[in-house]
Amino acid sequence: DGEMHAAARQQSQLENELRVALDEGQLLFHYQPQLDISGRQVIGGEALVRWQHPERGMLAPGHFIGAAESSGLVVELGELALRCACRQVRDWIAQGLPPTRVAVNISPRQFRSSRLVESVAEALRESGIPPHLLELEITESMMLDEIESTKERLEGLHALGVDLTIDDFGTGYSCLAYLKHFPVQRLKIDKSFVDGVTEDADTAAIVEAVVRLGHSLRMRVLAEGIETGAQQARLQALGCDEVQGYYFGRPVSPETFAADLAARSELMAS
C-alpha cells in the first residue's frame, strides 16, 4: 500500500512538472536522419522529443511519455511537435537547404483526440510548408479501435496531403486485413527485427515478408535502429527502401541536423 502511494505521488509530481515544462518551453525536438537504402542520401528526419529538465538534464521520452499519455498532456505535447516540426522545415528551406521531410510521432491519445486533423491542418497553415514534407507516424494498435472512425480520421489526414507511416510495424496487434483500406504510404520495421536480421534466419524471413507485403500494397518500407553496416547490407538484400539508425546518425539538435544537411548538399554539388 505504502509503495502504491509513493508511486502515485511520484506520478502526479511528474505530471505537474510536465505541465510546467510545456508552459515554460522545456520540451524540444531532436531530429534523426532517414536515408535511402544506400545510406548516401538523406530523405528526411524523425522529430524526437527531449525534455531539458532544469535539474535532471536532458531526458529521453522513455522517462516521461508514459506520464504524458496517462495525464492527457500528450495531446498538447503532440501539437507542439507538429508546430515545431513544420516551422523547422520552413526554416531549413528559408536557409537554402534542400526541402526535407520531417516525421512526427502521434500518440494514441492524440490520435483519438477530436482536434487531431485540425491541429495538423493548423501547423501546415501556419508554416506554409508543402504538406508532403510532413509525415505522421502512427502505430498498429491505434488502428484497432473502431475501424470506421479510424478510417475517417486517416482519410482526413491523407486529404491534407501528409504522408502516413506505421511505426514499429509487426510489434503490436496487427490488422493486416485493414491495411488495404487505410491510406498508408510507409511501413517502419521495428528495431527488434533489425537486431536479429543478420544472425537469425527466421527474423530475416519476417523482414522479407514485411517488405513484400509493403511493396505489394505500394508502400515504402523503412527499417529503423540500424547499428551496423552488416545490418544495412542484409536489409538492402531483403529489399528495404530506407534506413534510420545510429549507424547513419543519432538524433541531434535542429542546428546540427541542418549543418549536416548543408554539408551533404555541398558534397553532392561538388
Instruction: List contacts with Mg ion (CB under 5 A).
Output: 105, 137, 167-168
Q: State the CB neighbour count (10 A cutoff) for residue 99.
A: 11
Binding map of ligand C2E across residues 143-182, x = CB under 6 A, - = no contact: ------------------------xx--------------
Nearer to ligand C2E, 78 or 214 (CB): 78
Nearer to ligand C2E, 65 or 160 (CB): 65
| Residue 187 to residue 213: CA distance in whole angstroms | 10
Binding window for ligand C2E (CB under 6 A); candidates: 35-43, 92-100, 221-229, 253-261: 221-229
Alpha helices (H) in 162-225, listed in sequence order: 176-179, 191-196, 201-216
Q: Is 225 in the site for ligand C2E (CB under 6 A)?
A: yes
Quote the DSSP letter at residue 260.
H
Q: Is 214 in the site for ligand C2E (CB under 6 A)?
A: no
Radius of gyration in angstroms for the set of CA atoms belonging to the chain, rounded to a whole number: 19
Q: State the CB neighbour count (10 A cutoff) for residue 68.
A: 27
Angle at CA 104, nearest 5°, toward 173 and 229?
A: 80
- Which one of Mg ion, ligand C2E, none interacts with residue 251, CB within 5 to 8 A by kind? ligand C2E
Spatial CB neighbours of 149, under 8 Å, sequence gap ≥ 6? none
Query: Judged by CB under 6 A, how many residues of this single chain contact ligand C2E?
Result: 23
* Interface with ligand C2E (CB under 6 A): 32, 47-49, 60-62, 65, 74, 78, 81, 105, 107, 137, 167-168, 224-227, 245-246, 251
